[in-house]
Structure 1
Amino acid sequence: MTNEPDLSAFLLAHAGFRTEFGRLAAVLPAPRDAAHAALIEQQVELVLACLHHHHTDEDTTLWPRLRERFPRALPLLDVLEEQHETVDADVAVLADRTRPAADRAHAAARLHTALGRHLDDEERDAVPLLLRAYTAQEWLEHGRQVVGGYDRRLLPALFGWLCSAGTPELAARALAEFPWPVRLVFRLRWWPAYRRRHHALYGTHVRAHAGRAS
């Protein structure tokens, strides 16, 4: 049995960031009606809350551990932290509901590009170090702390969004880390609700089963 941590949930968050800012950039300028506009704003709030939570965890927990364990990687980690700061201005624009929709859509589009590059760098430079810096049990405990830090009211939509963005295989591996009652509630309630939410947001359908291609 391997003692290597399973980073599936971490990488599933990356998949969510890779997709959602581009989707939001497309719908922000032209909501169908007031209900659609409100749903878009809820999704913006959800995605930015997740991005903030993810980056804060990296800056305060993950990167300090890697800095301690792998001094030769300090220049790479410095770059990753600087990239977090470079997106702050566009995050602020996207979060500001008083800004024109076109400006916020452009900010989302820029975030889509900048975060894609950042995640490429992170998966190339930091993920191999995380696999060496954590045991499987340590990473599992860390993941529980990360999930516990979220507003519980966000979890149904958060789980649905991330699983919609990742491949079925990645979603299945990430979900396997959670206790069976959570997986059951996700399958019976959270995933069907998110499929409806996604269609209302973007006018497209996501797969019927989060962890299966069909």
Structure 2
Amino acid sequence: MRDRFDMTVTYAMHNALRRELHYLARATACAHPDPRNVLRTTAGWELFRGALHAHHAAEDDALWPSLRQALNGRPFCLARLEAIEAEHAALALLLEAIDQTLAGPDVGLDLFGELTGSLVTGLRGHLRHEEEAIFPLVQTILSKEQWEHFGRVHAQRIEADAARILPWLLDGVAERTVAAVLRQLLPESAHHTYAHRWQPAYAVLDRWGTQGALTVTRP
């Protein structure tokens, strides 16, 4: 059965986050003598963190409240949503803790490794959990107006740093997905700017300090 709502942007975001988790895990495992320098000195961590924050903030502000309202009287489904919300909170704490290890030279590398490992494992599981437990509910019970409201808020969250987040989001994806995402997130008048300024500027970034060093298998 065909989905009621087009979730291309949401899936593109999830896949981009998975892609960057692979880079994060490899870069922090291979960098010597201090893997924290990768996150301190390259664009990868900042881009990843900014995109994740924009995505989760849009869900927290515009998707979960609508779902909670629509799920009134369905306690088992509400429990699923509450579990997802708890995962958001736990992931936010991990991001904050990692940032603190980057700012504090006295924090041990073992703790840094534990935190980044927990983020990689936790976010991978969260994305899968959301897709399996929440996306079907979205397709089933949200109204068209509620889904469109989330889409607008999500686009607004990305808009603040669109010049960097959009090329990051669309790195390596199929052309039809690029077209679909740009159609939803960027005015047509700005598509030329994306293609001729934003994307080329992104393409030369060495996000994780690994150009020529890592071969990445797409998730």
Bin the TM-score by the shorter chain: 0.7 to 0.9
User: Does the residue aligned with 1:83 lie in a helix, a strand or coil?
Assistant: helix
Q: Which amino acid aligns with 1:202?
A: T
**Cα distance between partner residues in 2 of 1:85 and 1:51:** 12
Structure 2 spans left out of the alignment, 5+ residues:
214-219
CA positional deviation for 1:62:
0.8
**Match of residue 67 from structure 2:** 66
CA positional deviation for 1:125:
1.4
| Counterpart contact for 1:6–1:139, Cα < 8 Å | no
**Cα distance between partner residues in 2 of 1:141 and 1:89:** 27
**Cα distance between partner residues in 2 of 1:141 and 1:182:** 22
**Match of residue 21 from structure 1:** 21
**Cα distance between partner residues in 2 of 1:37 and 1:199:** 9
Q: Does 1:131 align with 2:132?
A: no
CA positional deviation for 1:116:
0.9
**Cα distance between partner residues in 2 of 1:199 and 1:148:** 24
**Cα distance between partner residues in 2 of 1:54 and 1:78:** 17
Deviations 1:125-165 (A, max 9, x none): 11122223142x6544532333323573x222211111116
**Match of residue 81 from structure 1:** 85
Q: Which amino acid aligns with 2:127?
A: L
Q: Which amino acid aligns with 1:13?
A: M
Q: What is the percent sequence identity of the aligned residues?
A: 24
User: Does the residue aligned with 2:6 lie in a helix, a strand or coil?
Assistant: coil
Q: TM-score, normalised to structure 2's length? A: 0.75
**Cα distance between partner residues in 2 of 1:147 and 1:101:** 38
Count of aligned residue pairs for this structure pair: 199
| Counterpart contact for 2:3–2:139, Cα < 8 Å | no
- Aligned 1:1-214 pairs, distance under 5 A: 4-28=4-28, 29-30=31-32, 39-40=41-42, 42-71=43-72, 72=74, 73-96=77-100, 97-99=102-104, 102=109, 103-132=111-140, 133-135=142-144, 139-150=147-158, 152=160, 154-164=161-171, 166-177=173-184, 178-198=186-206, 201-203=209-211
Q: Which amino acid aligns with 1:194?
A: Y
| Counterpart contact for 2:98–2:112, Cα < 8 Å | yes
**Cα distance between partner residues in 2 of 1:36 and 1:78:** 34
**Cα distance between partner residues in 1 of 2:11 and 2:119:** 18
**Cα distance between partner residues in 1 of 2:127 and 2:3:** 25
CA RMSD in angstroms comes to 3.2
CA positional deviation for 1:123:
0.6
CA positional deviation for 1:120:
0.7
**Cα distance between partner residues in 1 of 2:58 and 2:114:** 27
**Cα distance between partner residues in 2 of 1:8 and 1:75:** 26
Instruction: Tell me which of the two structures has the higher relative contact order, counting C-alpha pairs closer than 8 angstroms and 6 or more residues apart.
Output: 2
| Counterpart contact for 1:25–1:108, Cα < 8 Å | yes
Q: TM-score, normalised to structure 1's length? A: 0.76
| Counterpart contact for 2:63–2:147, Cα < 8 Å | no
